[in-house]
Amino acid sequence: MTSTTDARLWAMIHSARRSLAEDLAHLGAEQWHTPSLCSDWDVEHVVAHLTAGATVGRLRWLRSIVGARFRPAVHNERRLREQLGATPAQTLERFRAVVESTTAPSKDTAAYLGEVLVHSQDVRVPLGIQSEPDVDALTHVAHFFARRDFAVQSRSMVRGLRLRATDGRFAVGDGPAVEGPTLALVMTMAGRDAYVGQLDGPGRTTVEGRLGTGPASG
């Protein structure tokens, strides 16, 4: 990845963070405790997790994951708790403070763009906030997700399938086709079954099986 592309990806990350902060600015107290699409976390937890992700560099991540005995869920929960404020307003202020951060544990910038885009939808959807990420940003994430299992088992989710976006240029793979909006493809690769209904094609049943929403499939 060239430095120019990396700079563009960071600009997309910053834009996505700003957009989410704006969407959350007027939430009521109860809305902050709405369950998100991310299992076991409510809206405030997801926002704190995103703040943690923008403050943990490589050395701190290594110390944290070793301290968690290489259990990512334990690592994530510990770092999330550090960023929870005394109130949701304080949690949001901590997130706003890292909007322009370029701190990350590795150089996999497309993965961190994906984290912001996916988690933003994790909170927007249950809150009923109508806002979709830029298709160009989603396309970068879709290519990364289809190529590699990183924080999520995205490549495994769609192995042996041909993916095609109906609203953009994303198209990869061979096998039974799965088609739909780029956002739906990205969220499904991230394991969010809320989006599988937006997909079409003979490969959809395979995806449903892997998500656990349909017949089992290898």
Domain CATH for 145: 3.30.1050
Together in a domain, 99 and 161: no
Q: Residue 46: pLDDT above 70?
A: yes
Together in a domain, 30 and 106: yes
Q: What is the predicted pLDDT for the residue at 214?
A: 57
Domain assignment of residue 72, yes or no: yes
Nearest to 77 by CA among 87, 65, 59: 65
Residue 108, burial from CB neighbour count under 10 angstroms (0-12, 13-18, 19+):
middle
Nearest to 5 by CA among 143, 118, 164: 143
pTM above 0.85, yes or no: yes
Share of the chain above pLDDT 90, in %: 88
Q: Residue 27: pLDDT above 70?
A: yes
Domain assignment of residue 177, yes or no: yes
Domain assignment of residue 129, yes or no: no
* Half-sphere exposure (Cβ direction) of 106: Cα atoms closer than 13 Å: 8
Domain assignment of residue 217, yes or no: no
Handedness of CA 26, 31, 37, 41 (dihedral sign): positive
Nearest to 108 by CA among 184, 158, 63, 53: 53
Q: Say how many domains are in the chain.
A: 2
Together in a domain, 20 and 93: yes
Together in a domain, 53 and 146: no
Together in a domain, 142 and 104: no
Termini Cα distance of the chain: 32
Together in a domain, 9 and 76: yes
* Average pLDDT of span 58-62: 91
Full residue range of the structural domain in which residue 162 is found:
135-210
Residue 174: both structure tokens together: 């061979």
Q: Residue 3: pLDDT above 80?
A: no
Domain assignment of residue 28, yes or no: yes
